[in-house]
Protein backbone atom coordinates (compact mmCIF):
# COMPACT_ATOMS: atom_id res chain seq x y z
CA UNK A 1 0.00 0.00 0.00
CA UNK A 2 1.36 3.40 -0.99
CA UNK A 3 1.27 6.29 1.49
CA UNK A 4 1.44 9.76 -0.09
CA UNK A 5 3.39 12.53 1.66
CA UNK A 6 4.25 15.24 -0.90
CA UNK A 7 6.40 17.21 1.53
CA UNK A 8 9.97 18.30 2.14
CA UNK A 9 11.83 15.99 4.51
CA UNK A 10 15.22 16.01 6.18
CA UNK A 11 18.11 14.61 4.13
CA UNK A 12 18.39 11.26 5.91
CA UNK A 13 14.67 10.39 6.03
CA UNK A 14 14.68 8.19 2.89
CA UNK A 15 17.59 6.15 4.31
CA UNK A 16 15.83 5.85 7.67
CA UNK A 17 12.63 4.62 5.98
CA UNK A 18 14.61 1.94 4.12
CA UNK A 19 16.59 0.92 7.22
CA UNK A 20 13.38 0.59 9.24
CA UNK A 21 11.91 -1.69 6.58
CA UNK A 22 9.02 0.72 6.15
CA UNK A 23 9.10 0.56 2.34
CA UNK A 24 10.86 2.04 -0.64
CA UNK A 25 10.66 5.84 -0.64
CA UNK A 26 10.04 7.61 -3.94
CA UNK A 27 11.78 10.99 -3.92
CA UNK A 28 12.79 13.78 -6.26
CA UNK A 29 15.13 16.72 -5.88
CA UNK A 30 13.44 20.12 -5.88
CA UNK A 31 14.62 23.04 -7.94
CA UNK A 32 15.40 26.27 -6.08
CA UNK A 33 11.95 27.81 -6.58
CA UNK A 34 10.17 24.67 -5.37
CA UNK A 35 12.61 24.27 -2.50
CA UNK A 36 12.01 27.66 -0.90
CA UNK A 37 8.22 27.27 -1.24
CA UNK A 38 8.36 23.83 0.41
CA UNK A 39 10.78 25.08 3.05
CA UNK A 40 8.37 27.84 4.06
CA UNK A 41 5.52 25.30 4.14
CA UNK A 42 7.73 23.15 6.38
CA UNK A 43 8.14 26.11 8.73
CA UNK A 44 4.35 26.31 9.10
CA UNK A 45 4.17 22.54 9.68
CA UNK A 46 6.83 22.70 12.38
CA UNK A 47 5.16 25.74 14.00
CA UNK A 48 1.87 23.79 14.19
CA UNK A 49 3.71 20.87 15.80
CA UNK A 50 5.25 23.31 18.28
CA UNK A 51 1.76 24.52 19.26
CA UNK A 52 0.59 20.92 19.72
CA UNK A 53 3.59 20.19 21.98
CA UNK A 54 2.87 23.05 24.39
CA UNK A 55 2.03 20.72 27.32
CA UNK A 56 5.05 18.41 27.00
CA UNK A 57 8.39 20.10 27.69
CA UNK A 58 10.47 17.35 26.03
CA UNK A 59 8.36 17.52 22.84
CA UNK A 60 8.37 21.31 23.03
CA UNK A 61 12.17 21.41 23.06
CA UNK A 62 12.29 18.95 20.14
CA UNK A 63 9.86 21.02 18.09
CA UNK A 64 11.74 24.26 18.84
CA UNK A 65 14.84 22.51 17.47
CA UNK A 66 12.91 21.57 14.33
CA UNK A 67 11.74 25.17 13.87
CA UNK A 68 15.34 26.36 14.26
CA UNK A 69 16.49 23.81 11.68
CA UNK A 70 14.04 25.13 9.11
CA UNK A 71 14.86 28.76 9.92
CA UNK A 72 18.56 27.98 9.52
CA UNK A 73 17.83 26.45 6.10
CA UNK A 74 15.82 29.53 5.05
CA UNK A 75 18.67 31.78 6.17
CA UNK A 76 21.19 29.66 4.28
CA UNK A 77 19.02 29.73 1.14
CA UNK A 78 18.81 33.55 1.22
CA UNK A 79 22.42 33.91 2.46
CA UNK A 80 21.29 35.76 5.60
CA UNK A 81 23.84 36.17 8.37
CA UNK A 82 22.73 35.15 11.89
CA UNK A 83 24.44 38.22 13.30
CA UNK A 84 22.37 40.44 11.01
CA UNK A 85 19.17 38.76 12.18
CA UNK A 86 20.19 39.03 15.82
CA UNK A 87 20.97 42.73 15.42
CA UNK A 88 17.60 43.44 13.80
CA UNK A 89 15.85 41.32 16.42
CA UNK A 90 17.46 43.43 19.16
CA UNK A 91 16.49 46.66 17.37
CA UNK A 92 12.87 45.55 17.01
CA UNK A 93 12.76 44.45 20.65
CA UNK A 94 14.09 47.87 21.73
CA UNK A 95 11.59 49.71 19.51
CA UNK A 96 8.50 47.54 19.96
CA UNK A 97 9.22 45.47 23.06
CA UNK A 98 9.32 41.73 23.56
CA UNK A 99 6.66 39.44 25.01
CA UNK A 100 7.57 39.43 28.70
CA UNK A 101 4.46 41.35 29.80
CA UNK A 102 2.09 38.83 28.12
CA UNK A 103 -0.02 41.65 26.62
CA UNK A 104 -3.03 40.47 24.57
CA UNK A 105 -4.58 43.26 22.44
CA UNK A 106 -8.37 42.88 22.48
CA UNK A 107 -9.37 45.87 20.38
CA UNK A 108 -8.72 49.52 19.58
CA UNK A 109 -11.55 52.05 19.74
CA UNK A 110 -11.52 54.83 17.17
DSSP code per residue over 33-86: HHHHHHHHHHHHHHHHHHHHTTT-HHHHHHHHHHHHHHHHHHHHHTT--HHHHH
46 in any annotated domain: yes
Give me the domain span that covers residue 28: 13-82
Count of C-beta atoms within a 10 Å radius of residue 49 = 15
In a domain, 3, yes or no: no
Answer whether 8's CB lies under 8 Å from 38's CB: yes
Question: Per the domain annotation, does 52 fall within a domain?
Answer: yes
pLDDT recorded at residue 44: 97
Long-range contacts of 24-33 (CB under 8 A, 24+ apart): 32/77
pLDDT at 10: 96
Asked if residue 55 is part of any domain, the answer here is yes
Q: What is the count of structural domains for the chain?
A: 1
List of the chain residues with pLDDT < 50: none
Amino acid sequence: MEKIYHKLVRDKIPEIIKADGAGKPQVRILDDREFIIELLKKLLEEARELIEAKDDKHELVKEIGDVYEVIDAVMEYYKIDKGQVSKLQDERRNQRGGFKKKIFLESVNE
